[in-house]
Structure 1
Amino acid sequence: MLAELAIKNIAIIESVTVSFQKGFTVLTGETGAGKSIIIDSIHLLVGGRGSSDFVRHGADKAEIEGLFLIEDDHPAIAKCSEFGIEIEEGMLLLKRDIYPSGKSVCRVNGKLVTITILREIGRTLVDIHGQHDNQEMLDEKSHLRLLDEFGGKEIYPALNEYQSIYREYVKIKKDLASLNENEQMMAQRLDLLKFQLNEITNAQLKIGEDEQLLTEKKKLTNFEKLFSSLNTTYEALQGEQKGLDWVGLALSNLDEAQTIDEELKEIYNIVSNSYYQLEDIVHTLRDKLDELEYDPNRLNEIENRLNIIHQMKRKYGDSIEAILEYCAKIDDEIEMITNRESHIETLNKKLVSIEKDLLVEANHLTSLRKNAAEKLTEAIHKQLKDLYMDKTVFEVKFFEQDNIEFQPDGIDKIEFYMSTNPGEPLKPLAKIASGGELSRIMLALKTIFSQHQGVTSIIFDEVDTGVSGRVAQAIGEKIYRISVNSQVLSITHLPQVAALSDHHFFIRKEIKEHRTITSIQQLSERERIEEIARMISGSHITTATEEHAKELLDLAHQYKYQHH
């Protein structure tokens, strides 16, 4: 859940910090007080589109910070792991700064991330629904995804199987398209590949060769320094009155001493080992000095060879391994172009075979989707009945296609159709729903889908617009039922919805020192009664409206007790 939210210098909010809890939380206040700015800030926090317009006038930057508490199996953990972000004790801290230039700086648990990564993680944490989301629901392109999401465990394995074959199908189509290019382009491509293959082959590259040459070059470039260092080392150790001579003398005297004092035996052994090791080193140094030979021609050879390797890397890959891999790849392509007709025939046979497999998987997917569509239709009818839309007919329409066209998600083209009045024909959702109806339809869908999505927090931004009376009560009850399984935050103007909340925050706007400032306050039980009374009657609160507010709260408590 979203445990804490801190907002600084966003629009008319100078600085606000609020702690949220599980269950159903409502945000109320007069129009323009800044309720939607709170939701906009959460939207920005989880990767929503930002701009300089959000930065409070005169501020250096806008800051939003949110602490989320998540369970061990939450999808955000896998997503964070994918991006190398560590999560400790189930806490995830998101932070976003927006500057007047429009630039954003985003962090997740202190690690800098791109806005794209923030958005990917944010999708697993928060699901925001407002007027924009209603518009998205009207877009038929999202309907197939929603149906698959509803079908979940039954549909996704079949969809994954289909997509696996589809990827192979796309590759074969791409290879065929490449081979079916015109003769002139093929001939030009073949000449280029042969030239490249010949150039790489003639270079006779060996893996690890460049590292060996660089090592040898370093020795030759620093020959004098190397010879001088080795020679001085050798002369310091070998010869009369030199290092090895003195260590030998020490060893001889210790040999005599350890026969007198046994405690010196360990020291004698150490010096003895050191002497014989130094003796071996002297022999190695002498051999090394005998081997050292400066050859300026060899240095030129190395320089030329490294230059050839550099040119190959510049053209064909950043390492010898990559160049040789590219060489093998173009060798295969040359073979394919040379035997073009044979390969086209083989690929056409493969394509026919894979199209049959793909069609089988696509038809299986269609069958599963039609079963899911029946269940979804039944579930939506039940939800709509609870929202006093029992005369509404909902249908998932599958469009028949004359020519089957394989797409990444199957061959199905579907759209949600609905009729809100008896006797009226079914029409696309976008063409029939009024504002109030659309809010209820969206809420019905959300009630169903909230069981399948597993997000931490669901936010409703004035989804109850355009309704009142018993419909408002039904909407409040639906939102409360969703909050039993997920944390829900909702902006509302309806007293029936506010009464059903577990936690009630009031947002007010005031002017201090000629600047507008928004503040947020959690209401006590007494303050809730006053605020709900205000929502019922406006600014003029009477004893009757207070009694009505108390009654709404009592009814809400009874409903929650019965349905928790």
Structure 2
Amino acid sequence: MLTELSIKDFAIIDEMSITFDDGLTVLTGETGAGKSIIIDAVQLLAGGRGSVEYVRHGTSKAQIEGLFTLDSNQEELYATADTYGIDMQDGMMVLNRTITSGGKSICRVNGKLVTLAILKEFGKRLIDIHSQHETQSLMDPENHIRLLDLYSEKQIGNAKKEYTRLYEKLLSLQKRYNELSANEQEMTQRLDLLQFQQNEIEQANLTPDEDVRLEEERSQLANFERIYNGLQDAYNALYGEQRGIEWLGMANQSLQNSSEYDSFIAEKAEELSNHYYLVEELMYELRNYADSLQYDSERLNEIESRLYEIDRLKKKYGPSVNEILEYLGKIEEEIEQLTDKDTHLAKFEEQIAETYQDAYLEAKELHDLRQKAAKSLTDNIYGELAGLYLEKASFSISFDSKTETGTEKNVKLHRDGFDYVQFLISANPGEPLKQLNKVASGGELSRIMLALKKLFARHQGVTSVIFDEVDTGVSGRVAQAIAEKIYQISRQSQVLCITHLPQVAAMSDIHKLIQKYEKNDRTATVVEELSEKEKIDELSRMITGTKLTETAKEHAREMLALASNYKQSTQ
């Protein structure tokens, strides 16, 4: 769960640190106090898109840090940390996000710098944010297949990975086929260019690592005098009277003279003797190498000329000789394809057909798994909808596919298989099932998404679920039902909820009030955890709007009592 959230210089927040506990935490406050800003901060922490607009005016950077405590059963999270070499200790994880006024975004996980994509990988396993905007995503049928796959992610995930691999391969083959079968004029021009490049590289007669060897030889010739003098000086320091090898010989002889009287001296005498012969051998090798060196100014000119030619080719075809030769191999293969286009087109057609068939079989398996998931989701969602006063609603998941016409009719594959999935609903008895966007009101959409979230909470395994004003557009007994549903989700995952409904606030385990105030002529935000008495006052304010009356306070106490009774009944 999210244990602590620290925010500094973010929007209207100057500095804030909030601690959270397990269960249901509700955040309330006047409109504009900064409730949604806190959720924005958490969203950035989970890898959301940043903006310099988030940096508090007059400061250089906005900083957000979140401490999460993890359960031992979150194997995927630990596996992800292991993949990226992130140290996990004491079941804790710290996510950090900094956005500078210059637009730079810096991400860290447990102190290690990571990319935004890696931060997002951890974020999606730790936090699930549900907002009014996400409720609207239910209106788009393209999102329905994603939601269905999410519901049965463990069963569908592996099949989807294999299908994606084959689908990417199919796209690659089709792209190469289309390129090869492009119009004749483009192919002729392409062939002329490749043959020119092939001829230019082949005429150079390059050999592997030639540039490396030539540069080494050029360095040797250009620094011949320094190399030769260095060898001679080293040899002269070792050879001759009163030189290194003679002194080593004397030391060796001295130890040999005493070796029979002392085992330590005998051991060191043998070691020194070995070193003496090694140094002597090294000395002769230095002499012989110095004698073999010859300065050849013509050879240096030849090398310079050859390296100039190689550098000219590097500018066109690659940063090294080996990469130029690798490029030559690629264009030779493409030239062969272009000169024998019909044969290669036939091969591509065969490969495309085989890959399509393999991908289709994987898509069929995906379809079968989705059908099972759809039946389970439909059965379960009826129970959840009944608890949200949509007991007379009808819900169904429709499947469709499209065909594409080529030499024969094939099912059209897309990135998620061949299924086109839609959630259909009828909110009233006797009405036909229709698309959500044609029959569902805002309040109904909120309840449907909340029902889905309740079911997904069992499958996603995230540590924290965040609801940002998902209760907009509801009231009365529906508001109470939503409060109960949110509380049920909090029994499976930590829930943080921003709300304007007193029914939801009354159901909280912890109630935090967000207020804004002026500090040094600037607007700032503060979060305060409410006591039982303060909670009654806040609920009264939410009921009446402004003035706190005894009637409102009594109503608030009654709501808290009802919430307490409900919690006890579900334990």
Alignment of 1:48 with 2:48, yes or no, is yes
Alignment of 1:467 with 2:447, yes or no, is no
What secondary structure sits across from 2:138 in the alignment? Answer: helix
**CA drift at 1:150:** 1.8
Output the CA distance in 1 between the equivalents of 2:217 and 2:448. Answer: 76
The one-letter code of the counterpart of 1:163 is T
The one-letter code of the counterpart of 2:382 is H
Alignment of 1:537 with 2:544, yes or no, is yes
- Deviations along 1:255-285, one digit per CA (max 9) or x if unpaired, are 4455677764445434433433333233223
The one-letter code of the counterpart of 1:180 is S
Output the CA distance in 2 between the equivalents of 1:519 and 1:246. Answer: 81
**CA drift at 1:141:** 1.3
The one-letter code of the counterpart of 1:46 is A
RMSD: 2.7
Q: Which residue of 1 aligns with 2:16?
A: 16
- Deviations along 1:153-189, one digit per CA (max 9) or x if unpaired, are 4433333333333233223212221221222222222
What secondary structure sits across from 2:425 in the alignment? Answer: strand
Q: Which residue of 2 aligns with 1:5?
A: 5
The one-letter code of the counterpart of 1:6 is S
The 1:298/1:137 distance shift into structure 2, 3 A limit, reads same
Q: For residues 59-98 of structure 1, what are the structure 2 equivalents within 5 Å?
A: 59-72=59-72, 73=74, 75-98=76-99
Output the CA distance in 2 between the equivalents of 1:23 and 1:262. Answer: 76
Output the CA distance in 2 between the equivalents of 1:237 and 1:10. Answer: 70
Output the CA distance in 2 between the equivalents of 1:303 and 1:70. Answer: 63
Whether contact under 8 Å (2:401, 2:412) holds in the other structure is no
Output the CA distance in 2 between the equivalents of 1:18 and 1:505. Answer: 10
Alignment of 1:389 with 2:396, yes or no, is no
The 1:281/1:372 distance shift into structure 2, 3 A limit, reads closer
The one-letter code of the counterpart of 1:69 is T
What secondary structure sits across from 1:67 in the alignment? Answer: strand
What secondary structure sits across from 1:128 in the alignment? Answer: strand
**CA drift at 1:57:** 3.8
The one-letter code of the counterpart of 1:20 is F
Q: For residues 310-389 of structure 1, what are the structure 2 equivalents within 5 Å?
A: 310-389=311-390
Which residue among 559, 564, 567 is the counterpart of 1:557? 564
**CA drift at 1:518:** 2.1
The one-letter code of the counterpart of 2:341 is R
Higher mean C-alpha displacement, 255-264 vs 223-232: 255-264
Alignment of 1:173 with 2:207, yes or no, is no
Output the CA distance in 2 between the equivalents of 1:508 and 1:66. Answer: 21
Unaligned runs of 5+ in 2: 405-410
Q: Which residue of 1 aligns with 2:282?
A: 281
- Deviations along 1:119-149, one digit per CA (max 9) or x if unpaired, are 3432222221111111222111111111122
Q: Which residue of 2 aligns with 1:138?
A: 139
Higher mean C-alpha displacement, 90-99 vs 483-492: 90-99
The 1:359/1:94 distance shift into structure 2, 3 A limit, reads closer
The one-letter code of the counterpart of 2:143 is S
- Identical residues among aligned pairs (%): 50
Output the CA distance in 1 between the equivalents of 2:157 and 2:118. Answer: 24
Output the CA distance in 1 between the equivalents of 2:268 and 2:488. Answer: 83
Q: Which residue of 1 aligns with 2:234?
A: 233
Output the CA distance in 2 between the equivalents of 1:392 and 1:16. Answer: 44
**CA drift at 1:250:** 4.7
Alignment of 1:443 with 2:444, yes or no, is no
**CA drift at 1:387:** 0.2
What secondary structure sits across from 1:138 in the alignment? Answer: coil
Output the CA distance in 2 between the equivalents of 1:25 and 1:313. Answer: 63
Output the CA distance in 1 between the equivalents of 2:261 and 2:562. Answer: 104
Q: For residues 105-504 of structure 1, what are the structure 2 equivalents within 5 Å?
A: 105-258=106-259, 264-399=265-400, 401=402, 403=404, 404-504=411-511
**CA drift at 1:444:** 0.9
The one-letter code of the counterpart of 1:31 is T
Output the CA distance in 1 between the equivalents of 2:57 and 2:257. Answer: 91
Higher mean C-alpha displacement, 484-493 vs 414-423: 414-423
Output the CA distance in 1 between the equivalents of 2:275 and 2:372. Answer: 84
Output the CA distance in 1 between the equivalents of 2:359 and 2:247. Answer: 85
What secondary structure sits across from 2:177 in the alignment? Answer: helix
Q: What TM-score do you get using the length of structure 1 for normalisation? A: 0.91
**CA drift at 1:458:** 1.0
**CA drift at 1:252:** 4.4
Output the CA distance in 2 between the equivalents of 1:520 and 1:291. Answer: 82
**CA drift at 1:19:** 0.4
- Deviations along 1:293-320, one digit per CA (max 9) or x if unpaired, are 1111222233233334333433323334
The 1:423/1:297 distance shift into structure 2, 3 A limit, reads same
What secondary structure sits across from 2:186 in the alignment? Answer: helix
Output the CA distance in 2 between the equivalents of 1:112 and 1:484. Answer: 34
The 1:254/1:450 distance shift into structure 2, 3 A limit, reads closer
**CA drift at 1:383:** 1.0
Output the CA distance in 2 between the equivalents of 1:254 and 1:40. Answer: 79
What secondary structure sits across from 1:124 in the alignment? Answer: helix
Output the CA distance in 1 between the equivalents of 2:288 and 2:358. Answer: 70
Output the CA distance in 2 between the equivalents of 1:54 and 1:237. Answer: 71
Q: Which residue of 2 aligns with 1:38?
A: 38
Q: Which residue of 2 aligns with 1:505?
A: 512
The 1:89/1:183 distance shift into structure 2, 3 A limit, reads same
Unaligned runs of 5+ in 1: none
The one-letter code of the counterpart of 2:569 is Q
Higher mean C-alpha displacement, 116-125 vs 387-396: 116-125
Output the CA distance in 2 between the equivalents of 1:57 and 1:187. Answer: 59
Higher mean C-alpha displacement, 382-391 vs 522-531: 522-531
Whether contact under 8 Å (2:8, 2:16) holds in the other structure is yes
**CA drift at 1:543:** 4.0
The one-letter code of the counterpart of 2:18 is V
Output the CA distance in 2 between the equivalents of 1:39 and 1:107. Answer: 19
**CA drift at 1:334:** 1.9
Output the CA distance in 2 between the equivalents of 1:142 and 1:204. Answer: 57
**CA drift at 1:459:** 0.7
What secondary structure sits across from 2:515 in the alignment? Answer: strand
The one-letter code of the counterpart of 1:470 is R
Output the CA distance in 2 between the equivalents of 1:55 and 1:245. Answer: 74
Higher mean C-alpha displacement, 483-492 vs 232-241: 232-241
The 1:301/1:54 distance shift into structure 2, 3 A limit, reads same
- Deviations along 1:70-125, one digit per CA (max 9) or x if unpaired, are 34535444445555544433332223334445544443333444444433432222
Output the CA distance in 1 between the equivalents of 2:45 and 2:7. Answer: 10
The one-letter code of the counterpart of 2:558 is E
What secondary structure sits across from 2:303 in the alignment? Answer: helix
Output the CA distance in 2 between the equivalents of 1:432 and 1:346. Answer: 51
Output the CA distance in 1 between the equivalents of 2:260 and 2:432. Answer: 116
Q: Which residue of 1 aligns with 2:407?
A: none
Output the CA distance in 1 between the equivalents of 2:83 and 2:36. Answer: 33
The 1:6/1:239 distance shift into structure 2, 3 A limit, reads closer
- Deviations along 1:231-253, one digit per CA (max 9) or x if unpaired, are 23323333345443444445445
The 1:223/1:560 distance shift into structure 2, 3 A limit, reads same
The 1:228/1:338 distance shift into structure 2, 3 A limit, reads same
